[in-house]
Structures are given as structure tokens and as C-alpha cells.
Amino acid sequence: MPEVARTQLVWESGLETGNARLDTQNMKLFATVNDLLVASGTATSRHELSSGVIDLIHYARLHFAEEEALMESADYPRQAEQRIAHADFSAEVTRAAAYFFAERSTSIESLVLYVRGWLEDHVMTLDRDLAEHLRAIDA
């Protein structure tokens, strides 16, 4: 696996949206990806690695459902864009996971690279915009 795929995601202040709920959930997503990275380097069985992939899928679904409920309750104007981004992420991760399971490979490189790039971009753009909207309606 290339070095960039093995490097753990680091939550930095520059990624903070300013919304504690979003930031906490995004930090958990980063931690879930990091757990998967650790498992990819130390797993002694396919089951251990598979468990990490499944954990990522489940937590992402939970996070997206909560974030979408928050957007709905706040009448967020970019809900459709967020929902499409979430659906695209879910589809791509599910596709990569299916490939991983079908190939019976222990390589999760493509999954990790995709998730890393998507998370960093999504948090810095759409989640930050959502947090700004939430602050504006709370003011």
C-alpha cells in the first residue's frame, strides 16, 4: 500500500467546522478510518479486516442519517447537494467493499484512498458550509 494510504488521518483545528456535533462525528469517522488502517497492517485474518470495513460503512450511514436530519430541521438550503454527496460516498464505499470481499484480497488501498480524499474535501466544504448555516440561524 502506498505511504499516503498507510498514513493515519489527523484531525486538525483547520478541519473544525465550529459545530461541536458535526466535529465530534467527523472525528469519529476519521478514527474509524484510522482503525481500518491499523487493521490493514496488523490483521491476522480476513475477518478482522472485514470487520473494519463494515464498521466504516455502518458509522458513515449513522453519521449521514443524523446530519441529514439536522439539515432538515435547520432548513439548510444545500440539503440536496449534501444528500447526493452522501449517496455517492455510500455507493463508492459499498462498491469498493464488495470488490474487496469478492476478490478475497487483504488490500483495501483503493477504499482508503477514496475515503481519505472524500472526507477531507467534504468536511472542508459542505460540512463547513452547513455549520455556518447553523450558526447563522442560531444568531
Single-letter amino acid, residue 82: Q
| Number of domain units in the chain | 1
With beta carbons less than 8 A apart as the criterion, state whether 43 and 49 touch.
yes
Per-residue pLDDT reduced to its tens digit, 114-136:
888 899 899 989 999 999 999 89
User: If we measure between CA atoms, which residue out of 64, 67, 8 comes closest to residue 32?
Assistant: 8
Per the domain annotation, does 1 fall within a domain?
no
Mean pLDDT over 93-108 rounds to: 78
In a domain, 48, yes or no: yes
pLDDT of residue 43: 66
3-53 confidence digits (pLDDT tens): 545 678 888 888 888 888 889 999 999 999 888 888 777 766 677 778 888
Q: Pick the residue with more confidence: 59 or 14?
A: 59
For residue 7, tell me if it sits in a domain: no
CATH code of the domain in which 107 resides: 1.20.120.50
Report yes or no on 61 lying in a domain. yes
Q: Please indicate, yes or no, if residue 4 is contained in any of the structural domains.
A: no
Q: What is the pLDDT of residue 36?
A: 85
As a whole-number percent, the residues of the chain with pLDDT over 90 amount to 44
Residue with cell 505511504: 3
Give the range of the structural domain holding residue 108, as residue numbers without chain letter.
17-138
Is 81 domain-assigned?
yes
Within-domain flag for 133: yes
DSSP, residue by residue, the chain: --HHHHSPP---GGG--S-HHHHHHHHHHHHHHHHHHHHHHH-SSHHHHHHHHHHHHHHHHHHHHHHHHHHHHTT-TTHHHHHHHHHHHHHHHHHHHHHHHHHT-S--HHHHHHHHHHHHHHIIIIIHHHHHHHHHHH-
Separation CA 19–CA 26 (nearest Å): 11
Is 83 contained in some domain? yes
